[in-house]
Structure 1
Amino acid sequence: MKTIYTILLFAAAAAAQASPYIPSSGTQVVETLPRRGDPVQQELRRLRSQLDADPNDLALAATLAQRYIALGRSETDPRYLGYAQAALTPWWNKASPPPQVRLLRATLLQSTHQFNPALDDLKAVLAADPTNAQAWLTQATVQTVQGDYSSATASCARLSRLSTQLTTITCVANIGTVTGRALKSEQLLDLTLERSANAPADMQLWSLTLLAEMAQRRDDHVLAEARYKRALALAPRDSYLLGAYADFLLERQRPREVLAMLNDQTRIDALLLRRALALQQTNDQRALAADIKELAARFDAAMQRGDTVHQREQARFELKLRRDPATALTLAQKNWAVQKEPADIRIYLEAALQARDGAKPVLDWVAANHTEDAAAARLIARLKTGT
């Protein structure tokens, strides 16, 4: 089973609609295009040609969209999400498209943080087919991001009879890690993964990434790094994993490793942000200025489009690179209204600390859900003592 294991962090138009980039010389490489001889690209062109000849071929359109979504993640290339949506054009705006289209549309909608429309599609899919494991898993993921933990738990529970033990335990652990059961969830997931050596690579990737984040949140840096490296061996270009490991390296003051890892991965705004933060740590002012200018153009273009996908990243940009805590806090507050993951907690607390705000909504949330995160705990302590 192909699992879409996290909310995608990029939207297809983000880079394309930013300010034009003018290379400094005619010899500078602007883009590396897929090789025409690449078997994957040849197969995609063949499928696309068939779909062009018959745009209403539902099975072919769904297959092509699935391939594009998977390739967008594995190649860290957001344009493939746009290609996936284009493949679904005849059904995209229909109120009740076929279930396979609704599931794919939900996946693409969540990539732009349109969580409620995505949930509407998922509920319709599950009403038509309550045995659709992928729909339950995707719904649980969206509900967890929104902080609706009781509904997410119920969605995960439905997987126990429909999918593998590793899928179910990873789904449940993803909730437990932010609701006061972090260590027990980590231990159970680690044991389940050890017993699931034959699980699909994408399932192992999700589990390993989550386990790395769990260890990182309790300050076990050695174990966290070992898990990140195991995950990278499975998917060296996965955009979410690259961002998470980059954050780990930045926390450990290892910016040169971040620069080497993200050298050709900056099409994604979140990864360009992390490269800029690494440049800041190396004090490379010239390269940093160029990245800040590019990020500002991308975020400005997104705001003009009404695109709120990158508010967490933009808050971090304003706080750490532009040193504007007031603007960062406003963005963090808007982001908090949409999603409530550990990274959302931390950027809100960091901005509140520098803006001298009490961060009451986040403090109340952490207390009510017994959220365990060593970095967040340190920020909370500083907020309470005013240091």
Structure 2
Amino acid sequence: MKKPLFALLLCAATAVQAAPYLPASGRQVIETLPRRGDPVQQELRRMRSELNARPGDMALATALATRYIGLARSETDPRYLGYAQAALAPWWWLSSPPAPVRLLRATLLQSTHQFKPAMDDLKAVLAADPANAQAWLTQATVQTVQGDYAGATTSCAHLSTMSIELITITCIANVGAATGRSLKSEQLLELTLERSSNAPAELQVWALTLLAEMAQRRDAADLAETRYQRALALSPRDSYLLGAYADFLLEQRRANEVVALLKDQTRIDALLLRRALALQQLGNARTALAADIKELAARFDAATQRGDTVHQREQARFELLLRHDPATALTLARRNWAVQKEAADIRIYLESALHARDANAAKPVLDWVALNRTEDVAASRLIRQLQAGT
């Protein structure tokens, strides 16, 4: 994860599209655009201008796309993912584009949960270049999300001779956290991070975020807090990190902090959802909560009309916790489970089944948890409630 290897993993952020927004008046500030004097924006404008003049310059196009992918996460702005795809337009629809384009295409495809075509591209890249560390890492990420832990372990193992130790160990620990080896994986990753102080900041953020989630899942709240804060100090606008920390704060009943944390980040549907949940938890901001619920409903309805199924997990949380419709939430959670199987997917499926009073519907997840020896105190609590029929 150095150079493109590092940028691509962290920027496999989920593409988010929102419904058109109509401001209340011409005086309302909708968005603060990047300053034209910003060196990053100046460089991007220069690269775009050059690419417009030479649209077939693949080296320039992939360099620009990589920059955009990096900004998508660092700036909490999914529109950069669309800009990245546009930069690759001359090659995007080719069945066998050049390897650099194909790797970027796989990254963008998996960001919108198009996992099969993403995996097809990754396998093609690796068949031609078995030493491509970025392809192994991206493949491991997709395999972990889909629950192919054996495949992910193999992909991570390939990294050991191609990248720095922290990349390999974080990759392996991510699998271990989902397969009954959470504490040992956490200890190994923590030790590796301690001796990797010179690793790129983005890589440290990845490791720290995973470590924080591991601590959170075993109810070590103080340790999780420390790790989240360390990660935020390095990357305060990382959209995945903001969402994970917001969920932690919601669990801790610290809704005021969530509202402050996400004050300027609600372009992302998942972050707007968390702010709405915080407002609901506060109980004294009904007007703001109603506005957020209305906005989320419009965004999710627009996504449904487009056939966009990327955010079914977030939509399930919306239906369950904000609209109080467990039947719809369970339907969405079940569909989401067919696509991805991360800790948050387990929890929303179990919680939806519990509130729908349908323990039988949770059987696929219960079987999965038992098979993989999943360790998560929140999931365990939900399972006990389901089994008790409460």
Specify the TM-score bucket, using the shorter chain as the normaliser.
Answer: over 0.9
Trace 1:359-374 onto structure 2 (pairs within 5 A): 359-374=362-377
Amino acid at match of 1:45: R
CA distance in 2, matches of 1:185, 1:282: 36
Q: Tell me what 2:86 maps to.
A: 86
**What secondary structure sits across from 1:32 in the alignment?**
coil
Trace 1:1-387 onto structure 2 (pairs within 5 A): 1-2=2-3, 3=6, 4-5=8-9, 8-12=12-16, 14-15=17-18, 18=19, 20-283=20-283, 284-358=285-359, 359-387=362-390
Deviation, structure 1 residue 356: 1.0
Amino acid at match of 2:379: A
Q: Single out whichever of 3-12 and 243-252 deviates more from structure 2.
A: 3-12
Deviation, structure 1 residue 11: 1.5
Check whether the contact 1:5–1:206 (CA below 8 A) recurs between aligned residues. Answer: no
**What secondary structure sits across from 2:316 in the alignment?**
helix
Deviation, structure 1 residue 5: 3.6
Deviation, structure 1 residue 6: 5.3
CA-based RMSD of the aligned residues comes to 0.9
Check whether the contact 2:317–2:329 (CA below 8 A) recurs between aligned residues. Answer: yes
CA distance in 2, matches of 1:7, 1:344: 21
Q: How many residues align?
A: 383
Check whether the contact 1:6–1:141 (CA below 8 A) recurs between aligned residues. Answer: no
Check whether the contact 1:186–1:211 (CA below 8 A) recurs between aligned residues. Answer: yes
CA distance in 2, matches of 1:267, 1:371: 33
Check whether the contact 2:10–2:73 (CA below 8 A) recurs between aligned residues. Answer: no
Deviation per CA, 1:238-281: give whole Å up to 9, x if none.
00000000000000010111111101101110000001001101
**What secondary structure sits across from 1:180 in the alignment?**
coil
Q: Percent identity?
A: 77
CA distance in 2, matches of 1:11, 1:304: 16
CA distance in 2, matches of 1:249, 1:225: 9
**What secondary structure sits across from 1:134 in the alignment?**
helix
CA distance in 2, matches of 1:79, 1:366: 36
Deviation, structure 1 residue 357: 1.4
Deviation per CA, 1:64-117: give whole Å up to 9, x if none.
000000011100001100000000000000000000001100010011000110
CA distance in 2, matches of 1:70, 1:9: 9
Check whether the contact 1:189–1:207 (CA below 8 A) recurs between aligned residues. Answer: yes
Gaps of 5+ in 2: none
Check whether the contact 1:7–1:110 (CA below 8 A) recurs between aligned residues. Answer: no
Relative contact order higher in (CA < 8 Å, ≥ 6 apart): 1
Check whether the contact 1:7–1:142 (CA below 8 A) recurs between aligned residues. Answer: no
CA distance in 1, matches of 2:371, 2:130: 32
Check whether the contact 1:144–1:175 (CA below 8 A) recurs between aligned residues. Answer: yes
CA distance in 2, matches of 1:82, 1:26: 27
> Kindly tell me: are residues 287 and 8 of structure 1, through their superposed partners in 2, closer, same or farther at Cα, counting changes over 3 Å?
farther
CA distance in 2, matches of 1:7, 1:150: 24
**What secondary structure sits across from 1:245 in the alignment?**
helix
Deviation per CA, 1:16-55: give whole Å up to 9, x if none.
xx1x322223322111111111110010000000000010
Check whether the contact 2:330–2:353 (CA below 8 A) recurs between aligned residues. Answer: yes
* TM-score normalised by length of structure 2: 0.97
CA distance in 1, matches of 2:84, 2:124: 21
Deviation, structure 1 residue 334: 0.1
Amino acid at match of 2:251: E
**What secondary structure sits across from 2:208 in the alignment?**
helix
CA distance in 2, matches of 1:193, 1:97: 37
Amino acid at match of 2:305: Q
Amino acid at match of 1:154: T
Amino acid at match of 2:28: Q
CA distance in 2, matches of 1:376, 1:221: 16
Check whether the contact 1:137–1:156 (CA below 8 A) recurs between aligned residues. Answer: yes
